[in-house]
Amino acid sequence: MTSLLPATAVAHPNIALVKYWGKRDEHLMLPCADSVSMTLDVYPTTTTVQLRPDATNDVVIMDGRFLRGESSQRVTRFLDLVRTQADSRDRVLVDSRNTAPVGVGLASSSAGFAALALAASKAFQLSLDHRALSRLARRGSGSAARSVFGGFVHWHAGTDYAPDPDFASYAEPVTDTRLDLALLAVLLDTAPKPVSSREAMRRTMTTSPAFHRWLAATRTDTALMRGALRAGDVQAVGEIAERNAMGMHAAMEAAVPPVVYRTSASHHVLRQVRRLRAAGERMWATMDAGPNVKVLCLPGDAARLADQLRRLSHRPVLVARSGPGATLHRGE
């Protein structure tokens, strides 16, 4: 029996310190390697799911507009997984509200599918533990597996030798660290991406001669990052994160045709970060599937370094801290 009460969930985007780039199974959304992230306290997505037992199709409203075409089908395919688990045929109304500006490059699909996984599983009265919820969110968007949890998070790639590889790939919180980080996002561009991350990953994997070298380094970086977090060593965390992100972009840019997210404005900010660091500041850059440069630093330095970056880039700089995992709205 399913309830007709709507369920509402909130989730936040995350930033990877060791990146996820490349899937070994596109259907099950299994990554080529583990990744490590920090969930942020900015730009929450709030999603409500309401069952519509008499309806013949799902209706998806995002930021007040009906979703159509491939974006809507992606949500319906995800809801089909929930329906299968719940042994239900009920269609639903999904109403999702983002607070991040479109294209800001803070991986809003991570918050979006984490919130949808939690709201939909509640609406269909599935009782999933956190690990099962992370595995479900992963099927919507890989990075959403990590946004189920707050703070630092480790997403395990799992292994194809497991009896069921789907069960072996989930995220879990990193609890053995006392390090507190801030993230500064230099907002360079809000234009839509030139290539979707899904297509860009595919192209990098299949055509970039640099991809396998980056992947091998990433497998080592995860263990090094866990050690640096455990030791509370901000410099090691920053250096591993910057090297891993820059290696990912170099691998993308070596694809055929190249996947180029870094613009001249990105390179300008990257140079300023290196210059300030050479002058003694503790700050390290990371980038995702877009031109914005994000900077990792200690919370006590965040306001001062954000001011410097605003002055040098003439662009808005957002300051974020560690944020919570996905939660159901109060009262539900």
Q: Which residues are at the interface with ligand 2P0 (CB under 6 A)?
A: 16, 19-21, 29, 35, 107, 109-110, 141-143, 197-198, 288-289
The answer for residues whose C-beta is within 8 angstroms of residue 188's C-beta and 6 or more apart is: 263, 265, 266, 269, 291, 292, 293, 313, 315
**63 DSSP 8-state letter:** T
CB of 142 to ligand 2P0, least distance (A): 3
Considering the complex, state which of residue 51 and residue 62 has its C-beta at the smaller distance from ligand 2P0: 62
Alpha-carbon separation of residue 169 from 23, 152, 161, 172, 270 (angstroms):
12, 17, 12, 10, 33
Considering the complex, state which of residue 88 and residue 169 has its C-beta at the smaller distance from ligand 2P0: 169
CB of 127 to ligand 2P0, least distance (A): 26
CB of 58 to ligand 2P0, least distance (A): 19
CB of 145 to ligand 2P0, least distance (A): 9
Q: What tokens appear for 141 in the block? A: 């968007």
Considering the complex, state which of residue 121 and residue 218 has its C-beta at the smaller distance from ligand 2P0: 218
DSSP characters for 172-225? EE--S-----EEEEE----SPPSS-HHHHHHHHHHH-TTHHHHHHHHHHHHHHH
Considering the complex, state which of residue 51 and residue 186 has its C-beta at the smaller distance from ligand 2P0: 186
CB of 186 to ligand 2P0, least distance (A): 16
Considering the complex, state which of residue 90 and residue 242 has its C-beta at the smaller distance from ligand 2P0: 242
Alpha-carbon separation of residue 289 from 16, 123, 218, 221, 262 (angstroms):
11, 32, 17, 19, 9
Chain residue at closest Cβ approach to ligand 2P0? 142
